[in-house]
Amino acid sequence: MAVLLTGGAGYIGSHTALTLLEQGEDIVVADNLCNSSEESLRRVQEITGKKLRFYQADVASRSDMEELFSREPIESVIHFAGLKAVGESVEQPLRYYRVNLDCTLTLLECMAGHGVKNLVFSSSATVYGDGRPPFREGDPTPGCTNPYGWTKLMIEQIITDAAAADSGLSAVLLRYFNPVGAHPSGRIGEDPRGIPNNLMPYIAQVASGRREKLTVYGDDYPTPDGSCIRDYLHVCDLAEGHGRALAYARAHSGVEIINLGRGQGVSVLEMVEAWGRANGPIPYEIGPRRSGDIPVSCANVDKARELLGWEARRDVEDMCRDSWNWQRNNPLGYEK
């Protein structure tokens, strides 16, 4: 029996594929490569010495997915596929709603048609909007500040409704905080297209000389050093969290929402300092605030500990060291 990873060639999916292969799972990946490269999966197989099966498929396409489900003995699904750039979602809201919702609907229909009952879904801390941190899973989610976040809230609702109508369906909705870092081999990592939107890949590209300096977006927030605080999480810890969530989904039915973070806030300036300690200093300047940023985002992680027996093991310096190891070994990402 196999686990299907939709979007499994991407950043979090490739790290999760590696972890699950090491745990002895049989892995099938469906990805249309719109934001990734098949090279990530070639390297996952090289690192683990194990094979997976790859389908270049559009998860929103019923015919692509029917073909996959009829050929493969899928028993569980981890659903990563979708578009994830917050700013782009504001510029292209219909594309984001179309892709993210269609992928999920097609997947749920195929799962129902083929009797597949276990699902883990990549949700996001963005669903908490500008609520009061540390965020707990039961906190209200009155709305998001961008279409990307709305797609995550809508998909959480769709899966919850599907599970209400099918008592056999088991779903774990994982709300990730800020995944960063890379596998310590330096062979797989985050490969953003164009100018990175996110802090860690931007810092890494400054360190490699590809960007001149980091702009810290605001130092006048109501935080101890004035820069924004986030709950950064090593992508290998996150991948291990998916292994635990899969085991939980297999053993239960119904829907659980679970935060995955470290439960520790780190400011932008603290992250710049940690990078300096791990890898040497980088140039930066203070700039204006970025629109849409909230001052503090941080998880309460009690539920992950209690239900999954999971907690993050890697610290901020591990995240910086592994990001740099990936960046300096692959200055142009997966491109040769």
User: Site residues (CB under 6 A) for ligand NAD?
Assistant: 7, 9-13, 30-36, 58-60, 80-84, 99, 103, 122, 124, 176, 179
Residue whose Cβ sits closest to ligand NAD: 10
> SS3 string of 93-140?
HHHHHHHHHHHHHHHHHHHHHCCCCEEEEEEEHHHHCCCCCCECCCCC
Q: CB under 5 to 8 A by kind: which of ligand NAD, ligand WQD, none does 290 bind?
A: ligand WQD
Look at the alpha carbons of 275, 277, 281, 287 in this order and tell me if their dihedral is positive or negative: positive
Judged by beta carbon, residue 125 or residue 171, the one nearer ligand WQD is 125
Is 148 an annotated catalytic residue? yes
Judged by beta carbon, residue 123 or residue 170, the one nearer ligand NAD is 123
Going by C-alpha positions, the residue among 27, 88, 98 that lies closest to residue 61 is 98
Q: How far is the CB of 164 from ligand WQD (least distance, A)?
A: 25
Give the strand pairing for 266-267 and 26-31: unpaired
Give the binding-site size for ligand WQD (rule: CB under 6 A). 19
Look at the alpha carbons of 163, 167, 170, 176 in this order and tell me if their dihedral is positive or negative: positive
3-state DSSP call for residue 2? strand
277 within 8 A of 321, measured Cβ to Cβ:
no
> Exposed/middle/buried for 206, CB within 10 Å: 0-12, 13-18, 19+?
buried
Q: How far is the CB of 155 from ligand NAD (least distance, A)?
A: 9
Q: Could you tell me how far CA 147 lies from the centroid of its own chain?
A: 17
Judged by beta carbon, residue 221 or residue 232, the one nearer ligand NAD is 232
**Is 217 among the residues that bind ligand WQD (CB under 6 A)?**
yes
Set 11, 55, 96, 148: catalytic member: 148
Q: How far is the CB of 106 from ligand NAD (least distance, A)?
A: 9
Out of 36, 126, 264, 325, point to the residue binding ligand WQD (CB under 6 A). Answer: 126
Q: CB under 5 to 8 A by kind: which of ligand WQD, ligand NAD, none does 215 bind?
A: ligand WQD
**Is 208 among the residues that bind ligand WQD (CB under 6 A)?**
no
**Is 268 among the residues that bind ligand WQD (CB under 6 A)?**
yes
Alpha helices (runs of H) in the chain, residue ranges in sequence order = 11-22, 38-48, 62-71, 86-91, 93-113, 147-165, 199-207, 235-251, 268-279, 302-303, 316-329
Q: How far is the CB of 82 from ligand WQD (least distance, A)?
A: 10
- Partners of 54 in beta bridges: 29
Give the strand pairing for 53-56 and 74-79: unpaired
**Is 68 among the residues that bind ligand WQD (CB under 6 A)?**
no
Q: CB under 5 to 8 A by kind: which of ligand NAD, ligand WQD, none does 118 bind?
A: none
Token digits of residue 220: 């006048």
**Is 124 among the residues that bind ligand WQD (CB under 6 A)?**
yes
Which residues are known catalytic residues?
148
Interface with ligand WQD (CB under 6 A): 84, 86, 124, 126, 178, 197-199, 202, 214-217, 228, 230, 268, 290, 293, 297
